[in-house]
Structure 1
Amino acid sequence: MELHSPDAVHSCILRAADQSEAIGWFNTLHSALALLTASALHEASRFIPDLRHIGWFLRKPRPESQVSSSESSEDAERWQAVFAAVTDSELRFYESAPWSGESWKTPAEGYALIATRLVGSARRQDNPEFSIRCATVEGVVTHQLRAETHRDLAVWAKTLVNGSHASAVTQREFVCRCTWKGRPTQLVIHYENGFTLLESGTGSRTLWRHSFDQLRHSSDDGKRMLFLDFGGSGEESEVELDVEVCPKPIVFILHNFLSAKLHRLGLYA
């Protein structure tokens, strides 16, 4: 077993006489640390009132982060400890456990929950793992994470899924600038009302509307084009929108709107 200090500076390795003793020590330490984490969450809520969950992960380094030519292949593949926190609107990663109100407010990485999706989990006996995808204006960032126990994995998965749904319900509406058939427009995606395309400028004339149940397919080119297929045969049935930036956040927000609506009905996406 390895124990790491909250500042990620110190660590120690514990070796037991046999597997049974190791499991006993692990369970005891894990239970004690869970109580301390709950206490730390309560304390940290003074600085971030909407803080919902905190804890440690092991994260597999992303290929784009492996930039040092001096690293061995073994070092590049080594899972790294990362401290994570979930608020009402964000998933945050810290290089170490925050020690002050200011450090809680300055994560190393932050991703909007409404544009974050849990895409899979592996219930392996020894390594409970799952992956999340976070849409940003630069594209999709994938994090492969490992929890200490299957119970920890389940809690994190539930926290992230419920958080993304709650964020969708709270935000209710997403508006972005785009171009349709060469015309400057605004796309409005509303949690209840579906899709509305407005003409830019004074008056904002409505060009078309579609409900969520009319949507047959959505896709994008990963660069700036968003494609929406509403079925039918009219010019408004197969829509191509130039959103000027990476369309991935729009697609992820759309999917979380739909997923939240399904969960509200007692169904699962």
Structure 2
Amino acid sequence: MANTKHEEAVRALKQAGKVVNLQVQYRRDLHLRRENILHRLSWDDTPTTVATTPSLLPSDRLSTINIIQESHQNSRRIFALKLSFVTRTPLVPNEEDFEGRIIEIRSHSARHVLTLRCANSLEADAWFEAIHACVEALLTQALAQVNLILGQNPQVRRMGWLAEQSPSDCGRWRAVFVALTVNDLLIYDSVPAIKQVLKEWGHFRMGSSNDHAPAYSNKVVQTTARSFPVIAGLSDVISFTTRTGTQEGIRTHLFRVETHRELASWVKTMIQNTYEACESTLQVNAPCIWQERRCELNIHLERGLSLNDSAGGQLHWEYPFEAIRVTGDDGKQFLWIEFIGGGVNKN
């Protein structure tokens, strides 16, 4: 019976007689020791990873979580919090977490997720607030380091992790790393390495970012408010929506944040950055078709809107911003503007 399975051994004992002689041999409890679960957890802060992929992650003991098992001195793991993403609500809905006891921490590469389950929701809230405060403080340090590396040219106003909801992905949330400079809004799947930051942010090249747009083309159109009643699982999402003008049409992004403080900071920074980008750009020209004619729409910060013929440069109409009554678009290619005293809409 030494090489039999448990079910086979039970079956053999049941079929045996009334008296069964068993030979028992003492063996050390090597096979009875529990496997240390910490050895199976993966993270990005191993020495080889940091050495081969330069990033903004220093070997700072103050920016780590230490998980220690008292019975074994070697059962200890360190998880770097700098540039990680901590969420109170899992990005992938967990049917077992109906009590709201889970906290998720994603590594800066977004490849690894550390899921912590607390005893109750109150304890989960307390742990989340403490960890989130550390992550925010470390993010402020990383932002200062990036601007020091870039020499404030361009200046990075804000960066950090957000959760984005894609309409084409059945409304699921995904983690994105967003960087807002004085010139551009860049969206990544993970934290870019230092070489990538110098290449893209320092020289205004967007080669590897999943999405990018000039700062003046972004607009915050909707946010959740503190005054709304919070209903767990229904209205507890703190989010803001942006619309961005691109060559392919209007792109809408729905971003989720974890706290109202984050929401206020992101919205304020983006609005202020858009205004400053418009002041520095002063004028934007866009080719268009109006009444079956090829034209050019000019948007000037001080003079307003004007439409010129692409061929001869003939001025068709010109209005100040104060004359705009209403505007609209289909999100793809059509734009219509109604001016006060303009008679008909300008499509």
User: Do these two structures clear the TM 0.5 threshold for a shared fold by scoring above it?
Assistant: yes
Residues 111, 62 of structure 1: alpha-carbon distance in 2 compared, 3 angstrom cutoff: farther
Deviations 1:177-221 (A, max 9, x none): 34555554433221111123334457x454443222222233345
Q: Which residue of 1 aligns with 2:257?
A: 147
Q: Which residue of 2 aligns with 1:176?
A: 286
State the aligned residue count: 226
Q: Offset at 1:160?
A: 1.5
Question: Which amino acid in structure 1 is aligned with residue 278 of structure 2?
Answer: A
> Is the Cα contact below 8 Å between 2:251 and 2:331 reproduced in 1?
no
Q: Offset at 1:147?
A: 0.6
- 1:161 matched to 2:267? The reply is no
Q: Which residue of 1 aligns with 2:165?
A: 60
Q: Offset at 1:6?
A: 0.5
Structure 2 distance, partners of 1:220, 1:60, is 22
- 1:12 matched to 2:114? The reply is yes
Matched position secondary structure for 2:118: coil
Task: Name which of structure 1's ranges 2-11 and 117-126 shifts more when overlaid on structure 2.
Answer: 117-126
- Considering Cα pairs closer than 8 Å and 6+ residues apart, tell me whether 1 or 2 has the greater RCO: 1
Structure 1 distance, partners of 2:107, 2:292, is 57
State TM-score, norm by structure 1. Answer: 0.73
Q: Offset at 1:50?
A: 2.0
Q: Equivalent residues in 2 for 1:217-228 (5 A)?
A: 217-220=326-329, 224-228=333-337
Matched position secondary structure for 2:271: helix
Identity percentage over the alignment? 31
- 1:238 matched to 2:344? The reply is yes
Structure 1 distance, partners of 2:171, 2:332, is 29
Deviant stretches of 4+, over 6 Å:
none
> Is the Cα contact below 8 Å between 1:130 and 1:145 reproduced in 2?
yes
Q: Which has the higher helix share?
A: 1
Structure 2 distance, partners of 1:207, 1:24, is 62
Q: Which residue of 2 aligns with 1:81?
A: 175
- 1:135 matched to 2:245? The reply is yes
Matched position secondary structure for 1:238: coil
- 1:100 matched to 2:194? The reply is yes
Structure with larger Rg: 2
Question: Which amino acid in structure 1 is aligned with residue 132 of structure 2?
Answer: H
- 1:21 matched to 2:133? The reply is no
Residues 194, 18 of structure 1: alpha-carbon distance in 2 compared, 3 angstrom cutoff: same
Structure 2 distance, partners of 1:36, 1:153, is 18
Residues 183, 192 of structure 1: alpha-carbon distance in 2 compared, 3 angstrom cutoff: same
Deviations 1:212-245 (A, max 9, x none): 222223334555454333343xxx753645xxxx
